Chains A and B, each alone.
Chain A
Amino acid sequence: MRKSTSDNIKRSDEPIWWGLFSAGGVCFAVFVPAAILFIALLIPAGIMAPEALSFERAESMIFSLPGLIFIGVVVCLPLFHAAHRIRHGLHDLKLGKEQLNKIVTYGSAALLSALALVGFVIGIM
C-alpha cells in the first residue's frame, strides 16, 4: 500500500500564520504586559517619574534600533497573533468564508504593521 500520491497533496500555508501567531503569543505574554505596566500604570500612577517618558526622551527611544524592535514585538507580532485568533474564531462560529477571513484578518494586521513602520521611517528621517 505504498502509494506515491504525495506529490499532488496540497501543502497548507498555515505554518506561516502559525509561526507569526506563536511569535506574537510570546510577545503578548512577555513584552505587552511590561509595556502596559510602564506606560499605562506606573507612570500615570506617579510611581515612576513622568519624565521617564517625556516627549524628547520617548522620541529618541522610539526612533532608534531598540525602538524598531519595540514596535515589532509590541505592535506588529501581537497584531498577527490577534488576527489569527479572530480568523479561527470566525471559522469556529461558521462566519464568513475561509479565504476572505484570511485576507481581512491578516490584511488588517499587515496594514496596521505597515502603518507603524511607515511612522517609524518618517520619524527617523
Chain B
Amino acid sequence: MTTKQLSIQRYLPEQGSAPYWQDFDIPFDDSTSILDALNYVKEELDGSLSYRWSCRMAICGSCGVMVNNTPKLGCKSFLREYEGPVKIAPLAHFPVEKDLIIDMEPFLDHLAAVQPYLINDSGLINGSGESEETFKQTPEQMEKYKQFAGCINCGLCYSACPQFGLNPEFLGPAALTLAHRYNLDSRDQGKKQRMPQMNREEGVWSCTFVGFCSEVCPKNVDPAAAVNQGKVESAKDMLIGIFKG
C-alpha cells in the first residue's frame, strides 16, 4: 500500500500559544477519505489530535477542514484526488479552539438572526401553538426553494467567503441562503420579519458576488445565487418602502 504525507496544523492552547505543523505518513488507497486519514492518525499515530466528525457521508456537516487551502468536507474528499503532500488546517475565518476544531458560535448566531424556520400563525388552534391541519404545498411551489433547502450548516461557504473573512459581522452565505429559502416558501409568512436583516449593510449587501461559496458547497446549494436574488428582493423592498413612505 502506498503512503501519502499529511501535514496537519496543530494548535494546543494549553501547551503553547502558536499553531504548528505536524507531518504524518498515511497508507491509502482509492477509498481513503481525508476523514479516514484523520481517523488513522488519531487511532494509530497520535491520539492527541482533535477534530469533529460524525456521519461519514456528507449529511452532518461536522468534518469541514481546509484541504490545501480550500474548504472541504473531510468525508467527501479523498487522498487520491491530491498529488504530493496534503495540507490540512482548520476552516478559515473562524476562531480555532483546538487543532482542527473551530468555534461555530458566530456562524450559529448569524443563522438564528434570519429566523430560518416556518413563520405562519394562520390556522393555529387557540393558545396551543399547533395548527388544525398541515400546510399543503404543490411540487411547483416546492421547486422554488428546494435548491436552497439542502444546506447542512457545515460552514464551508463562510471559509470560502473573502467578505466574511474581512468582516465577521457579515451574515454570510448560508444564513442569507436560508433566509431566502424561507422567503420563497409558499407556507411561510415571515418575509417581513426577515427583510430588515437582509437589508442591513451586513446582510445581502456585504456580498460582492465572488461566487466561491457556491463552488465549495458540498450539497450544491448555490448560496451565491440565493444571496444575489436576495439583493433583488432587498432593492425591491427599498423601492416599496419609498413609495409607501
Using A6-B193, A18-B205, A92-B208 as known contacts, say yes or no to A11 and B238 having CB atoms under 8 A apart.
yes
Interface pair B231/A18, CB less than 8 Å apart: yes
Flag whether A51 is at the interface (Cβ < 8 A).
Answer: no
- Cα A88 to Cα B199 with chains together (Å): 18
Flag whether B197 is at the interface (Cβ < 8 A).
Answer: yes
Flag whether B104 is at the interface (Cβ < 8 A).
Answer: no
Q: How many A-B residue pairs have CB under 8 A?
A: 45
- Interface SS of chain B: helix
Interface pair B234/A15, CB less than 8 Å apart: yes
Interface members, chain B 173-208 (any A CB < 8 Å): 192-193, 195-197, 199-201, 203, 205, 208
Residue in B112, B119, B166, B192 whose beta carbon sits within 8 Å of that of A94 in the complex: B166
Residue in A2, A9, A88, A91 whose beta carbon sits within 8 Å of that of B200 in the complex: A9
0/1 string, B124-157, CB within 8 A of A gives 1: 0000000000000000000000000000000000
Residue in A2, A6, A15, A92 whose beta carbon sits within 8 Å of that of B196 in the complex: A6
Closest to A5 in B: B196
Residue in B162, B199, B200, B241 whose beta carbon sits within 8 Å of that of A92 in the complex: B162
Task: Report A-chain residues with C-beta under 8 Å of the C-beta of B201.
Answer: 10, 12, 14
With both chains docked as a complex, state the minimum distance between the C-beta of B178 and any C-beta of chain A, in angstroms: 15
Task: Report A-chain residues with C-beta under 8 Å of the C-beta of B197.
Answer: 9
- Interface SS of chain A: helix
Interface pair B200/A11, CB less than 8 Å apart: yes
Contact-residue size bin, chain A (C-beta under 8 Å from the other chain): 10 to 19
Residue in B112, B193, B231, B239 whose beta carbon sits within 8 Å of that of A2 in the complex: B193
0/1 string, B202-244, CB within 8 A of A gives 1: 0101001000000000000000000000010011001101000
Closest to B235 in A: A15
Interface members, chain A 24-81 (any B CB < 8 Å): none
Flag whether A107 is at the interface (Cβ < 8 A).
Answer: no
With both chains docked as a complex, state the minimum distance between the C-beta of A99 and any C-beta of chain B, in angstroms: 12
Task: Report A-chain residues with C-beta under 8 Å of the C-beta of B50.
Answer: none
Task: Report A-chain residues with C-beta under 8 Å of the C-beta of B192.
Answer: 6
With both chains docked as a complex, state the minimum distance between the C-beta of B42 and any C-beta of chain A, in angstroms: 38
Flag whether A19 is at the interface (Cβ < 8 A).
Answer: yes
Known pairs A9-B200, A12-B199, A12-B201 / 7 extra A-B pairs, C-beta < 8 Å:
A2-B193, A6-B193, A6-B195, A12-B203, A12-B205, A15-B231, A91-B166
Give the interface of B toward A (CB within 8 A): 112, 115, 119, 162, 166, 192-193, 195-197, 199-201, 203, 205, 208, 231, 234-235, 238-239, 241
Can you name 10 A-B residue pairings with CB atoms under 8 Å? A1-B112, A2-B193, A6-B192, A6-B193, A9-B197, A14-B201, A15-B231, A15-B234, A15-B235, A92-B166
Q: Please name the 4 residue pairs, one residue from A and one from B, whose CB atoms are nearest each other, closest first.
A: A14-B205, A6-B196, A15-B235, A12-B201
